[in-house]
Amino acid sequence: MVKTAIVMEASWGIGRSIADRLAEDGFAVIVHFSSHAREADETVAAIMEAGGQAVALQADVTREEEIKQLFETTLDQFGRIDVVVSHSGIMALSPMSRGDVDTFDKTIRTNLRGAFLVFAQAALHIADGGRIIGFSSIGVGTAPPSYGAYVASKAGVEGLVRVMAKELRKRQVCVNAVALGPGATEHLLQGMNGEQTARAGDLEPSQEIGETRDILHVVSFLTGPDGGWVSGQVIPVTERLPDRREFMELEVA
């Protein structure tokens, strides 16, 4: 029986890239979407054209019944769930001095409550030995101005991951979070001008903006056979090291 992965918000951006990578790794992929139906269908079509299996399913991440139905439909169609990647989230920025409660509530509802609902269903239905991945941000540690609601939501996701890792360890289910640094993704770059992008790169040890492929390597490792002894961890993806050829060029120079 083919292994199955649910990837939340997989119709565009990082989520789509993760769906593509897990399909390449041999998983049948549930391409979740909330509102981008056309993009979800395109993602499914691309995976199937490449020889993989995929189905698009819609659900509002903030609605408990819709998330339950997403998992039940996956089980009905594929018979098992081996990987769940909770990637849904919004980034609405506002200085705390504004007291913007609406922005705070919306961010917590989507990023933290949404993650909780997905994690809860994953804990109930994932196969023994399965993998659950949440997404956080290095902003939890760096705490940049105006990121109060976002940082609070992602700190909460990290807490849920650590608790769930202990709750599921007897079933050998590994639960981890990937903490993103500045990366060349649609989610980050849509709201940045050139100066802001350069400043984000300066936060990196390598002074570069990361690439989506760097995230995919980590996700593939955590969901693959070599990731079975990693659980309860928050893994930062903050920079891209030079490849072997670049190291050799440095040594020659």
Q: What is the per-residue pLDDT for 251?
A: 40
Each residue's pLDDT tens digit, 22-55: 999 999 999 999 999 999 999 999 999 999 999 9
Dist. CA 125–CA 75, nearest whole Å: 8
Mean pLDDT of the 101-124 span: 98
pLDDT at 164: 98
pLDDT of residue 109: 97
What's residue 204's pLDDT? Answer: 39
Global pTM reads: 0.85
The pLDDT tens digits of the residues spanning 187-198 come to 444 444 444 344
Mean pLDDT of 54-66: 98
The residues assigned a catalytic role are: 150
Alpha-carbon distance of 58 to 30, in angstroms, equals: 10
CATH code for 4-252?
Answer: 3.40.50.720
Domain boundaries, the chain: 4-252
| Exposed e or buried b per residue across 31-63, where buried means at least 16 C-beta atoms within 10 angstroms of its C-beta | bbbbebeebbebbbebbeeeebbbbbbbbbbbe
Residues 194/153, Cβ–Cβ less than 8 Å: no
